[in-house]
Amino acid sequence: MRDTLNDIGLPVFAIAAALLLFGLLMGLAGASPVEVWALLFKGAFGDWFSWQNTLQRAAPLMLTALCVAIPARAGLVIIGGEGAVVLGGLACAALPYVLPLPDNAAGTALVCAAGAAAGALWIALAGWLRQFRGINETISSLLLAYIAIGLFKHLVEGPLRDPASLNKPSTYTLSEGMRIGGIGGSDVHWGLALGVLACIGLGLWLRWTASGFSVRVVGGNPRTAQLVGLPASKLVLLACGLGGASAGLAGAVEVAAVHTSANASLIAGYGYAGILVSFIARHNPLAIIPVAILFGGFGAAGSLLQRRLGLPDASVQVLQGIAFVLILASEALRDVDWKALPAKLSRPPAPNPASASALPAAMQEAAAPAAPGRPPPVSGAPGVGAIVQPAINKGALS
């Protein structure tokens, strides 16, 4: 019960404190904090148009958060999901270059599968470097993300570039039949459904399957996993592959549903925002869904803050940064027993037994008469005479 309250209460407290600090910072910039808070929630959830924008942004956040959450359950800290996103989008846009694809839902499934495969291989590489070469997965995944972005820019601006894209280099657009449409004619595309299904499916996999339980054992207690003979390296690679596939699918969905081609707009920071979403959700795939919707709403409200208050559109990234710092700091409060805290604070400090027993001896030494030919004991702090006297005697003997 206590762990459940901590899992819910601490993230809520961190988000509330982040909103408070963000409002105060915007107040220093000349805006009214109350108006900033009101516009944040109005731009995110104020009307149906705001909800559509929010849910559209939440879809990739769910998938990129899984890229952090699933490896985390295996004991890894993967923060290079941005690389899997851009390579997933690139693979989605590049597959029609090499294979003739049907212009229907089967073609959509194939380009999405290509994006998921590219992301899975890229993040699995970070897991392989950790398991078989001893390279820290946090550093390697982050550096691999920069490599992936460089590779993406090289191919989009070079071999895969559409000659008609003059001002903004991009690949050829996907055909109409392979694009992902909206749900019920709205602006919310079916990528949201894919994100929700991925979160639910992976959450059930971790909870109710033998392989998912084995992944959690490897992440929770590697020594126990070794003693019972679990294939730790294979399970780590499996977790990294599933996480990378989720991020690669996010990139493919962005290409097939939003941009229709691979271009620089795909490098939007969804991979890095997914880190924040996963940590606030405590790496729980089911909790990722509401957290992604919340932060998708904050991202959608940035343009409203810009129009109404003249604040930069990227000011919501400050809010995300504050929230990330506070959610990490709140981990220090996880083991605090809040019920026993008032009693501990009101209880007087217990006396130190060592100092109490040393005090009478020091007083006796100070009160004792000096022996003939022996210097008097040094007065001062308790125990000082016992420290100084041997040095004096040693000097006298020499």
**Mean pLDDT for back-to-back runs of 10 residues, the chain (398 residues):** 68 88 88 88 88 93 96 94 95 92 92 96 96 93 96 93 88 91 88 95 95 92 85 94 96 93 91 92 93 91 84 83 85 66 66 54 52 50 45 42
pLDDT at 329: 83
pLDDT of amino acid 301: 87
**pLDDT for the residue 374:** 52
Quote the pLDDT of residue 364: 52
Residue 392 is predicted with a pLDDT of 41
pLDDT at 223: 84
Q: How far apart are CA 256 and CA 189, in angstroms?
A: 10
Cβ proximity of 68 and 79 under 8 Å: yes
Q: Is 189 helix (H, G, I), strand (E, B) or coil?
A: strand
Q: CA 174, CA 361: separation in Å to the nearest integer?
A: 89
pLDDT at 195: 95
**Three-state SS at 182:** strand
Residue ranges per structural domain of the chain: 2-333, 353-397
pTM: 0.81
Residue 146's contacts (CB-CB under 8 Å, 6 or more residues apart) are: 83
3-state secondary structure of 263: strand
- In words, the CATH class of domain 2-333 is mainly alpha
Q: What is the pLDDT of residue 391?
A: 44
Q: How many CA atoms lie within 13 A of 299 on its CB side?
A: 23
For residues 78 and 126, the answer to whether their CB atoms sit within 8 Å is yes
In the chain, alpha helices (H): 2-28, 33-45, 48-73, 81-98, 105-133, 137-157, 191-208, 210-220, 222-227, 232-253, 270-280, 285-300, 302-309, 315-329, 341-346, 353-367, 384-397
